[in-house]
A and B are shown apart, each in its own frame.
Chain A
């Protein structure tokens, strides 16, 4: 240590050609090595495909998802129809691609609700402590005690059917996990010396919270968000499968799978291929979450 100190001492006299390194440069140096991992790259590709499908599905398929062709109903996967066709002759691949927008939107909405609600509750109770903490955490305990899907079903029944209500229901269901994680991290970071140093340096509570506590408490919560994004896709699909989600003509992953269950013996691809695609997306998200968790250590 000392030797380094001493060796570097003269260089302080060198002309100060130093410029601040931008945030982008630092982020790039952190992310680029990850892309060399084949598993991570593959997972990222699958997720990107789903996101592109959600934003502009017409890029990925030239068919119309609603165009029926009774002559070609329930045809097996082929070069023309990659995933085959359903009972009305609609191209299944196109419907999966078009279904992404509803599913991904619902998942984003659900995770968004969970993040905002969970972070808010977690920070409030971790930061305020005392009675507020006790009351909030008991409320969270109650939410945790109810099975997520049951809670979602109750909420959907109360506020009505459709994609957005389903997303809200799923989001509320995963709030407790976020609140708990955030609170634990805030409690840990709050007592660290550098937070005290920032306070003594004259930083206001707001500044301390936003610049020191949140960024350092954020890691595990971000991992949880990635992980729960997959879980939210699965949960919305599950609720759609049960018939609470998107109404029939609209393509949605859960509805697609539900549709095919009548032809499971004669035309298994109608359920199976959308289901496998859903599994691939959720697995990819889990893998990405796990990679992030690993590099944080």
Chain B
């Protein structure tokens, strides 16, 4: 049996299973995939669909308890399904390179970036050769890092997330591989950075004739970038084809659901009407500014301006979205509104009351009307509390309910967020990310607040789960008339959800207006850049 030599990757009827407790759980089932040199293929699926298992199998990095139970796996002319560790090592770096998922944890914090690239170079080219330093600088230049000589001498913590991701790309390129696997390469980054890095990666790959395998949960990213798309669900390929065909006439229900979930392809609803000014705003920030003092370093400004002259109003039953990149001051604005930080300048009004200088004790009664949903749903729940304990915690804290009434309230709240009642006994570690976020929302709803502050409520979740959570939030707003302040780095999340949008950059308001204004007649270059960065927007505007 020989493989077709023109194909770089030829996976035939591959099944991979995980053994646990005497049972084998198939993560990949009878999957076939072939890639020619120079092709870009995207695998799309949710967490748990087996796409990372497939990538690990191609890299020969399956964990010990995983087993290839059937099929063949030809990579660069070698069958890896029964290869020894030694053979697999020869492939890694030289034939297949990996750009890992999370740039924050994927670099060794105790080695300079240059050393880490050198490691990959030396592995690929044999001994420490004289040109290694020049090669490092050249690689860093190629991946678009300015001042490469300086960067090579810095440690990972001195670089931003985007730069770290570029260093990881340089490491993947070092062995001059024929295929690069990008495993959710940018999901940890801001949208604008995400776009720049993907553009760059794609250009490098096409210049060198390298194949690219993108693994993502975001159909938008896949459609913008790939020549061919595979949609995976529970270990099986449900559909494959060129992006245009997938987008225009998806054959499988699951693909249709994914397209509906991708914000860029969702049909824009009628822009939500803004309420007339007769209502008094429920929350009002007036010329709020925040300055942090930094530890004194010679020759540097001892203060950091996080927020400047921010004014905003939130009306009852309406949604205000604050959009900006990390470091734009959007979280600071939220914390000031919550009374967790005191503003340096300006006032915060809650209805008719100036809450700027209230102490914690004075603010406490207001907490019943003002609640927060946090960013990371896994960290937002006490790991020792059952879902029941978490949900009713605010009710107990305020001493509102006891005993049977408490259990009744818990049943009602968990129904509101569409989780089964039996979940009340579970612990957070037994829930998925989307379910955790539902519990966190139920907890925030317990006190029946009038205003909910949402701090990136969906950024840690898969695209399809994002859509469900946003639907839920919208439904709750319709039924209970809650006002939202939604903080996000992603304009696409905001598009169908908010009444009004405020774009922040470096602590300053860049633009403010209704959703319709912002999306159709953006007044600043920055807003235009943000809109262009929405994955899938290229295809969506072409279609």
Contact = CB atoms under 8 A, between A and B. Distances in A.
A119 B257 CA distance: 53
A20 B425 contact: yes
B379 A5 contact: no
Interface in A1-37: 1-5, 8-9, 11-12, 14, 16, 18, 20-21
A200 B338 contact: yes
Contact of B397 (A12, A20, A203): A203
Given A20-B407, A21-B425, A200-B338, A5 B418 contact: yes
Given A5-B434, A18-B411, A194-B381, A202 B419 contact: no
A202 B415 contact: no
A1 B393 contact: no
Contacts of B464: 1-2
Contact of A18 (B379, B418, B424): B424
B388 interface: yes
Contacts of A216: 382-384
A202 B367 contact: yes
Interface in A191-219: 192-194, 196-198, 200-204, 207, 212, 215-216
Contact of A197 (B372, B398, B418, B433): B372
Interface string B438-477: 0010010011000000000000011011001000000000
A202 B432 contact: no
Contact of A215 (B384, B411, B434): B384
Given A193-B375, A201-B446, 13 more contacts: A1-B47, A2-B46, A5-B434, A8-B420, A12-B414, A20-B407, A20-B425, A21-B425, A193-B379, A200-B338, A200-B340, A202-B394, A212-B382
Contacts of A20: 388, 407, 424-425
Interface of B: 46-48, 234, 257, 338, 340, 364, 367-368, 371-372, 374-376, 379-384, 386, 388, 393-394, 397-398, 407, 411, 414-415, 418-422, 424-425, 432-435, 440, 443, 446-447, 461-462, 464-465, 468
Contacts of B376: 193
| Most chain B beta-carbon neighbours within 10 Å: one of A3, A4, A12, A194 | A194
12 contacts: A1-B432, A1-B461, A4-B435, A5-B465, A8-B420, A12-B414, A18-B425, A20-B388, A21-B425, A198-B397, A201-B394, A202-B368
Interface of A: 1-5, 8-9, 11-12, 14, 16, 18, 20-21, 192-194, 196-198, 200-204, 207, 212, 215-216
B374 A193 contact: yes
A143 B202 CA distance: 60
A208 B286 CA distance: 32
B411 A9 contact: no
Nearest to A216: B384
Contact of A16 (B234, B384, B418, B421): B421
A12 B468 contact: no
| For the complex of A and B, 10 pairs with smallest distance between CB atoms | A201-B394, A203-B397, A1-B432, A202-B397, A18-B421, A193-B379, A194-B382, A11-B420, A193-B380, A2-B464
B434 to A, nearest CB: 5
A104 to B, nearest CB: 30
A1 B434 contact: yes
A246 B6 CA distance: 86
A18 to B, nearest CB: 4
Contacts of A212: 382
A192 B378 CA distance: 11
Contacts of A215: 384
B412 to A, nearest CB: 10
B374 A5 contact: no
Contacts of B381: 194
A202 B462 contact: no
Given A5-B468, A202-B398, A16 B379 contact: no
Nearest to A9: B418
A154 to B, nearest CB: 40
Contact of B374 (A12, A16, A197): A197
B420 A4 contact: no
Contact of B340 (A192, A196, A198): A196
Contact of A14 (B386, B388, B414, B420): B420
Contacts of B48: 1
B111 to A, nearest CB: 26
A5 B371 contact: no
